Structure 1
């Protein structure tokens, strides 16, 4: 029932429900966009800092919710936040797959590709 109420509220605020993925709501303007992604009882807001604060305040006024800050882990994705962007990776998932197939103890080999360091600009 809460999903229906949330869905009605978001669409009344100009968000469009994604037909392929009903848990995603997108709101576009001339130069900005906002995404609300819902998974079970979690919600991720993706938008500019100004829009994020405004959307969170509106949602908190209409729904009982708690802000747990930036998402660090979601659906197997590990997320690190930086001032100039985010880094998304899946090393935990990779380790689980390697362990499942008894490949986690194998000696790694070098990979012939250039890897950019996070510290390099």
Structure 2
């Protein structure tokens, strides 16, 4: 089960949303959100995020859809400084 694997990898579900998992280390923070069969991952470290994706790919069948553009009716735009702008019509 994905949640068991994430917990074993040091993630913890948040109290406010059990589908949102967080892992804090001395060098980074990774947030992973699960919705049905979609996963959104973001991190303060690109290298640690890539490592997580590779690890998950060895355990589960994953399909990388590249940068996030839409999720649950929310439009996601990437800013020039590396941030995200969320909007909903």
TM-score for the superposition, normalised by structure 1:
0.67
* Stretch of structure 1 that moved more, 30-39 or 7-16: 30-39
Q: In the TM superposition, what are the counterparts of 1:35-114 in structure 2 within 5 Å?
A: 35-47=31-43, 48-84=45-81, 85-90=83-88, 93=89
The structure that has the greater radius of gyration is 1
Q: Report the number of matched residues.
A: 87
Q: Which residue of 2 aligns with 1:9?
A: 5
The structure with the largest strand share of the pair is 2
User: Deviating runs (4+, > 2 A) in structure 1?
Assistant: none
Greater RCO, 1 or 2 (C-alpha within 8 Å, sep 6+): 2
Q: What is residue 26 of structure 2 aligned with on the other side?
A: 30
Q: Normalized per residue, which structure has more helix?
A: 1
Q: Which runs of 5+ in 1 are unaligned?
A: 94-121
Query: 1:31 Cα deviation (Å)?
Result: 4.1
Q: d(CA) in 2 for partners of 1:58 and 1:83?
A: 29
Q: Output the aligned Cα RMSD.
A: 1.2
